[in-house]
A and B are shown apart, each in its own frame.
Chain A
Amino acid sequence: MPGPLLLFAFAALVTGIVVGVRMSRLWLALTVAGTTAGFGAALMVLLGAADWEWRSGFSLGDELVHLRLDGVSALFLALLCVVGGAGAVYAREYWPEKHYPASAPRGRVWWSALVLSMGLVLTVSNGLHFLIVWELFAICAFFLITLDRQRREVRAAGWLYLAASHAGTMALFAFFSLLAARTGSWDLPGPMRERADLSSLFWLVLAGFGVKAGVFPLHIWLPSAHANAPSHVSAIMSGVAIKMGIYGIVRFSGWLPVPAAAGWVVIGLGATSALLGIAFAFAQNDFKRLLAYCSVENIGIILVGLGAALLALTHGDAVWGRLALAGALLHVWSHGAFKALLFFGAGSVLHATGTREMSRLGGLWRTMPWTAGLFALGSLAVSGLPPLNGFVSEWLVYLGLFDAVTSKGPSAWAALPAAIMLAMAGAMAMASFAKASAMIFLGAPRTQAAAHAHECGMGMRAPMLMLAGVCVGIGLAPILFWPAIRRAAGSWCPGWGAEETPAPLVALGSVHVALAVLILAAAAWLWRKAHTNGLRRGMTWDCGYATPYARMQYVSASFAGIVSGWFRWILQPERKIRRPRGHFPEEALRLERVPETVLERIIGPVSAAIMRVSTTVRQLQHGRLQFYILYVVAGLIALGVLVLLGGAP
């Protein structure tokens, strides 16, 4: 039954690509219909028992087309369809024809192409075809990121993304070719865990997909691409596209045997990504960059869960591994929902004020109450606070880690530091989003642009409300989502899809419902009480200062000052200070900026050195024939000497 739905989704998206340039309404209808159909197919697989598989007679590149939708891919497909549909609705108002006559039609076409190619990445079951659709996906994303390509920094971000993406694809080329060479076929038949000789290929998987996922030292492309892309593109990039990297790691760690060290490395990478990602996020002044770095953190949380599951697999105790894997898989959905919501909120702010600098905003709740409320909800969810979805998935990961520690096996030495690092990352996520929402929405407007903002329309609000509903839904009724997670876990490792819930999700859900009701009741009660007692408006007290003004407020860098001091060794902030001088100082200045440390301090210098060496070597190639003949003769003599010295083979 998923077959016809998928065929319909495919047809709708292809038609969307064709008609997208001219007919925006038809395009929207087709995209929404296609994603809904895809979502239906994913749900059928997740809630049913059987996988969907289709081996066709068509061949592409001498390989027969083989499609498959199992628990793992259906989980990611469901997320793709939700965000893909919501983003299409959002884009209509956010990136309209009126303001962007050239790029809006282009954006529609590439959007459909991106959703389609990601859907194909999730369904193709042939190594060669996987590489083709993977490349297609990378290119669609590139054109969407550079939609506003008149701006220089957008083009730079796009090229950086494309270069990083291809570096990853190179590892994937190596991986799929080696896999095909060792198994004798490009076809991916499914689990091959008994082939122990394939286990070393996992490192290529981790490197290749790790770049796309944005794991910490490989995340260099992510902040600038997410920040400079139009916000609906940032939402799908951050909510879904980087999850394709996670999908690859989950997929092939489930199908292929993994080396014994895999669990240790994945959990270590995850914990590092979580802690350093959020440290960078907290130090940002640009709210879209902050959200981008926060994605690095959340990818870290997912990898910690996956790493724990791999450890459990190699050590033979499956029970806590199941919890951690369930947490990781649920976090894929959770993060997809709240991060898309936050990027939509960020887009709404950007749309209204035209700036991404938090220190130029403030007080927007007055003009943008809907955006402020929804952004606050997303902030609570991303900080992992109860009673929302972020807490549920992080709680499952924590439970897995705690059980690993109490089992006192060798894995405990990985789980223990990971749990403590996750706790610190959680506290810093809370701090980052307290900062972001406060700087953008609270206090007094810091500039004219912020003072004259306007609320977004229904076309942008509706997708945000839908995603907020997902966040609240997973938070209040996690048990409803359990069957899907169980199904995916069962596809990852047969035997892990057991019927019973290993964690008291019902108890947690009911506590969350009680908490939500009490929170609303208490807020309403206190609000009423304050009004019946008499409510008077007055100036902020500010310790008796009589004429406070907007620039006296705490700004983003000062809010993050303490923590970015602790992480100075990696953040390497650039400071510009002009101290006040004399008895009547006229000016003073303090600017602080956190650079892209990994890119500017490590990758940049290394690439520059490679370029210098290459330029020097290039002087050998000057086009003078006689010298080329000299090279050949010299080469022959050298070979001859080598043969003479080494003897005949």
Chain B
Amino acid sequence: MNLILAVILRLAVWLLLAPLLPGIINKVKAWVAGRRGPPVLQLYYDLAKLWRKGVVLSTLASPGFIAGPAVAWVALLGAAMLMPLGPGGTALSFRGDVLLLIYLLALARFCTAWAAMETGSAFEGMGAAREVSYAVLAEAAIVTAVLSLSVQTGSVSLVTMLSPSAGAGAVLLAAGLFTVLLAENCRVPFDDPNTHLELTMIHEVMVLDHSGPPLAAILHGASVKLLLFAVLLIQAVLPLGALSAPAAAGALVAGVLAVTVGVGLVESWLARLAFRRVPLLLTTAFLLCLFALLVAWKGGAK
């Protein structure tokens, strides 16, 4: 009974809090630009509206066009349920769950790319090609980051990997993971969610043809993914396991807010990179994680 309650509670946290993050980012961007900006809860209003709307389907699209976003949403929520929440621990933990998490993110990516290709639009093909290609480097960076945490803690399950801090390499790891966060969630400088030129988009161009409830699932899934990466980054870097439960919870919330504000500031101050530079930046993220790994290796040998 307790387990079911814990799962429901955890699910509620992820489902209800995730859409807050894009709102905060937009508020930060508006504040830096001296505008009032949309309300923080804008995404909630959008989701509620989309959920009630009808669907326009391309004449070329198969049922996979609607199944794709559904599967991606389940995969992202599944990944989120594996992620421990500071002092709250996790609903389910086993050796190797971190690999399941990485591959669930890949499943979500496959489904989004599949749904994009359904429409036969060249723009969406372009977006899907970019998404799956840049993922190669992003995945290398994530696995390297996870390896460095494993070396640090001698463990392959998320709860024990994430409770101590990343040690001396924490700064490198934080920089690497933050860059991956920006790439995986299609934020500036990798992608501009607000651009109006389809030729230059990645994620946004893949969902051009979606509408109504499937679009709501995609937008909500994207916000869950953003929260997931922010939680991962904070827990990887801060020694939450060493703090008392309320302090750890406070640190986690403050950390996630700091990351969100950081994303907003990066978006305000940087322009989107030219596409040929994107692999370079991702390689840099990979190298940062690799150096963090080497530091963890040397640090642990003492």
CA distance A536 to B74 in the complex (A): 25
Quick check: A522 and B125 within 8 Å, CB to CB? no
CA distance A553 to B293 in the complex (A): 42
- Measured between beta carbons, the chain A residues less than 8 angstroms from B107 are 380, 385-386
Q: Which residue of A lies closest to B205 (CB)?
A: A543
Within 8 A of B (CB), among A350-373: 362-363, 365-366, 372
Q: Which residue of A lies closest to B289 (CB)?
A: A420
- Measured between beta carbons, the chain B residues less than 8 angstroms from A560 are 129
A507 in the interface (beta carbon within 8 A): yes
Given A515-B78, A550-B120, A533-B128 contact (CB < 8 Å): no
Pick the residue among A385, A511, A541, A561 that contacts B106 (CB under 8 A). A385
Quick check: A541 and B214 within 8 Å, CB to CB? no
Quick check: B147 and A408 within 8 Å, CB to CB? no
Q: Which residue of A lies closest to B55 (CB)?
A: A530
Map CB proximity to A onto B277-296 as digits: 1 under 8 Å, 0 otherwise.
Answer: 00100000000000001000
**19 CB-based A-B contacts, threshold 8 Å:** A379-B110, A383-B110, A385-B107, A395-B96, A395-B99, A424-B137, A424-B139, A427-B140, A431-B136, A434-B128, A519-B74, A525-B70, A526-B66, A530-B55, A530-B66, A533-B52, A540-B119, A554-B129, A558-B126
Quick check: A508 and B94 within 8 Å, CB to CB? yes
Within 8 A of B (CB), among A526-584: 526-527, 529-530, 533-543, 548, 550, 552-554, 558-563, 566
Pick the residue among A503, A540, A562 that contacts B133 (CB under 8 A). A562
Pick the residue among A363, A386, A408, A515 that contacts B60 (CB under 8 A). A363
Given A424-B140, A566-B279, A385-B110 contact (CB < 8 Å): yes
Given A391-B103, A438-B128, A553-B125, A426-B120 contact (CB < 8 Å): no
B209 in the interface (beta carbon within 8 A): yes
Quick check: A526 and B135 within 8 Å, CB to CB? no
Pick the residue among A518, A523, A552 that contacts B122 (CB under 8 A). A552
B44 in the interface (beta carbon within 8 A): no
List 10 other contacts, CB 8 Å, given A416-B147, A538-B57: A408-B300, A423-B102, A427-B136, A427-B139, A526-B214, A536-B57, A541-B119, A541-B208, A550-B120, A558-B126
Quick check: B71 and A362 within 8 Å, CB to CB? no
- Measured between beta carbons, the chain B residues less than 8 angstroms from A508 are 94, 96, 100
- Measured between beta carbons, the chain A residues less than 8 angstroms from B268 are none
Pick the residue among B69, B73, B96 that contacts A398 (CB under 8 A). B96
Q: Which residue of B lies closest to A386 (CB)?
A: B103
B244 in the interface (beta carbon within 8 A): no
Q: Which of A116-124, A195-203, A399-407 contacts B (4 or more CB under 8 A)?
A: A399-407
Would you list the 5 A-B pairs with minimal beta carbon distance, nearest first? A554-B125, A443-B120, A438-B117, A534-B54, A431-B132
**A interface, CB within 8 angstroms of B:** 362-363, 365-366, 372, 376, 379-380, 383-386, 391, 395, 398-399, 402-403, 405-406, 408, 416, 419-420, 423-424, 426-428, 430-431, 433-435, 437-438, 441-444, 503-504, 507-508, 511, 515, 518-519, 522-523, 525-527, 529-530, 533-543, 548, 550, 552-554, 558-563, 566
- Measured between beta carbons, the chain B residues less than 8 angstroms from A427 are 106, 132, 135-136, 138-140
Overall SS of chain B's interface: helix
Quick check: B110 and A434 within 8 Å, CB to CB? yes
Quick check: B147 and A402 within 8 Å, CB to CB? yes
Q: Which residue of A lies closest to B67 (CB)?
A: A523
CA distance A404 to B23 in the complex (A): 43
The minimal Cβ–Cβ distance linking A539 to chain B, given in whole angstroms, is 6
Within 8 A of A (CB), among B45-63: 51-60, 62-63
- Measured between beta carbons, the chain B residues less than 8 angstroms from A366 are 62
The minimal Cβ–Cβ distance linking B285 to chain A, given in whole angstroms, is 13
Q: Which of B31-39, B151-159, B168-176, B258-266 contacts A (4 or more CB under 8 A)?
A: B151-159
The minimal Cβ–Cβ distance linking B39 to chain A, given in whole angstroms, is 25
CA distance A41 to B25 in the complex (A): 63
CA distance A409 to B122 in the complex (A): 50
Most buried by B among A438, A444, A527, A552: A438
Quick check: B136 and A540 within 8 Å, CB to CB? no
CA distance A538 to B60 in the complex (A): 9
Quick check: B55 and A522 within 8 Å, CB to CB? no
B150 in the interface (beta carbon within 8 A): yes
CA distance A550 to B54 in the complex (A): 27
Within 8 A of A (CB), among B61-105: 62-64, 66-67, 69-71, 73-75, 78, 92, 94-96, 99-100, 102-104
- Measured between beta carbons, the chain A residues less than 8 angstroms from B64 are 365, 376, 442
- Measured between beta carbons, the chain A residues less than 8 angstroms from B66 are 523, 526-527, 530
- Measured between beta carbons, the chain B residues less than 8 angstroms from A419 are 143, 147
B191 in the interface (beta carbon within 8 A): no
B109 in the interface (beta carbon within 8 A): yes
Given A533-B54, A562-B133, A522-B62 contact (CB < 8 Å): no
Quick check: B120 and A533 within 8 Å, CB to CB? no
Quick check: A519 and B117 within 8 Å, CB to CB? no
Given A420-B143, A522-B71, A536-B56, A406-B151 contact (CB < 8 Å): yes
- Measured between beta carbons, the chain A residues less than 8 angstroms from B103 are 384-386, 391, 395, 426
Given A430-B135, A518-B74, A522-B73, A540-B120 contact (CB < 8 Å): yes
The minimal Cβ–Cβ distance linking A608 to chain B, given in whole angstroms, is 36
B227 in the interface (beta carbon within 8 A): no
Quick check: B213 and A530 within 8 Å, CB to CB? yes
The minimal Cβ–Cβ distance linking A342 to chain B, given in whole angstroms, is 15
Quick check: B125 and A559 within 8 Å, CB to CB? yes
- Measured between beta carbons, the chain B residues less than 8 angstroms from A519 are 70-71, 74-75
- Measured between beta carbons, the chain B residues less than 8 angstroms from A420 are 140, 143-144, 147
Quick check: A430 and B128 within 8 Å, CB to CB? no
CA distance A428 to B139 in the complex (A): 10
Quick check: B133 and A535 within 8 Å, CB to CB? no
- Measured between beta carbons, the chain B residues less than 8 angstroms from A511 are 78, 92, 100
CA distance A530 to B139 in the complex (A): 33
Pick the residue among B110, B119, B126, B198 that contacts A430 (CB under 8 A). B110
Q: Which residue of A lies closest to B96 (CB)?
A: A399
Quick check: A529 and B94 within 8 Å, CB to CB? no
CA distance A376 to B125 in the complex (A): 18
Quick check: B129 and A530 within 8 Å, CB to CB? no
The minimal Cβ–Cβ distance linking A509 to chain B, given in whole angstroms, is 11
Map CB proximity to A onto B204-217 as digits: 1 under 8 Å, 0 otherwise.
Answer: 00001100111001
Quick check: B100 and A535 within 8 Å, CB to CB? no
Quick check: B147 and A540 within 8 Å, CB to CB? no
B114 in the interface (beta carbon within 8 A): yes
The minimal Cβ–Cβ distance linking B115 to chain A, given in whole angstroms, is 9
Quick check: B99 and A399 within 8 Å, CB to CB? yes
Quick check: A442 and B55 within 8 Å, CB to CB? no
The minimal Cβ–Cβ distance linking A541 to chain B, given in whole angstroms, is 5
- Measured between beta carbons, the chain A residues less than 8 angstroms from B133 are 431, 562-563
Quick check: A442 and B118 within 8 Å, CB to CB? yes
The minimal Cβ–Cβ distance linking B173 to chain A, given in whole angstroms, is 15
Quick check: A443 and B60 within 8 Å, CB to CB? yes
The minimal Cβ–Cβ distance linking A451 to chain B, given in whole angstroms, is 12
Quick check: B120 and A363 within 8 Å, CB to CB? yes
- Measured between beta carbons, the chain A residues less than 8 angstroms from B154 are 406
- Measured between beta carbons, the chain B residues less than 8 angstroms from A562 are 129-130, 133-134, 279
Quick check: B62 and A558 within 8 Å, CB to CB? no
- Measured between beta carbons, the chain A residues less than 8 angstroms from B209 are 540-541
Q: Which residue of A lies closest to B54 (CB)?
A: A534
- Measured between beta carbons, the chain A residues less than 8 angstroms from B213 are 526, 529-530, 533
Quick check: B60 and A424 within 8 Å, CB to CB? no
CA distance A512 to B81 in the complex (A): 13
- Measured between beta carbons, the chain A residues less than 8 angstroms from B137 are 424
Given A362-B120, A395-B100, A518-B78 contact (CB < 8 Å): yes
Pick the residue among B57, B118, B132, B150 that contacts A443 (CB under 8 A). B118
- Measured between beta carbons, the chain A residues less than 8 angstroms from B125 are 438, 553-554, 558-559
Q: Which residue of A lies closest to B129 (CB)?
A: A559
